[in-house]
Chains A and B, each alone.
Chain A
Amino acid sequence: NAGVTQTPKFQVLKTGQSMTLQCAQDMNHNSMYWYRQDPGMGLRLIYYSASEGTTDKGEVPNGYNVSRLNKREFSLRLESAAPSQTSVYFCASSAYRQLNQPQHFGDGTRLSIL
Chain B
Amino acid sequence: QKEVEQDPGPLSVPEGAIVSLNCTYSNSAFQYFMWYRQYSRKGPELLMYTYSSGNKEDGRFTAQVDKSSKYISLFIRDSQPSDSATYLCAMSAGEGGSNYKLTFGKGTLLTVNP
Chain A residues proximal to chain B, CB less than 8 Å: 4, 40-43, 45, 48, 58-59, 90, 92, 98-108
Contact = CB atoms under 8 A, between A and B. Distances in A.
Given A102-B34, A105-B36, A105-B43, 13 more contacts: A4-B43, A41-B106, A42-B107, A43-B88, A43-B104, A99-B92, A99-B100, A100-B100, A100-B101, A102-B46, A103-B46, A105-B45, A107-B43
A53 B99 CA distance: 22
Most-contacted residue by chain B among A41, A43, A107 (CB, 10 A): A43
B106 A103 contact: no
A59 B103 CA distance: 10
Contact of B105 (A42, A90, A104): A42
A102 B49 contact: yes
A58 B101 contact: yes
Kindly state the interface size class of chain B when it binds its partner: 20 to 34
Contacts, number: 51
Given A105-B45, A107-B42, A42 B93 contact: no
A106 B43 contact: yes
Interface of B: 32, 34, 36, 41-46, 49, 88, 92-95, 100-102, 104-107
A58 B89 CA distance: 19
Most-contacted residue by chain A among B44, B49, B100 (CB, 10 A): B44
9 contacts: A41-B106, A100-B100, A100-B102, A101-B32, A102-B34, A102-B46, A104-B46, A107-B41, A107-B43
Nearest to A44: B104
Contacts of B45: 104-105
Nearest to A38: B106
Give 9 closest A-B pairs by Cβ, nearest first.
A105-B43, A100-B92, A42-B106, A99-B100, A43-B104, A100-B32, A99-B101, A107-B43, A105-B44
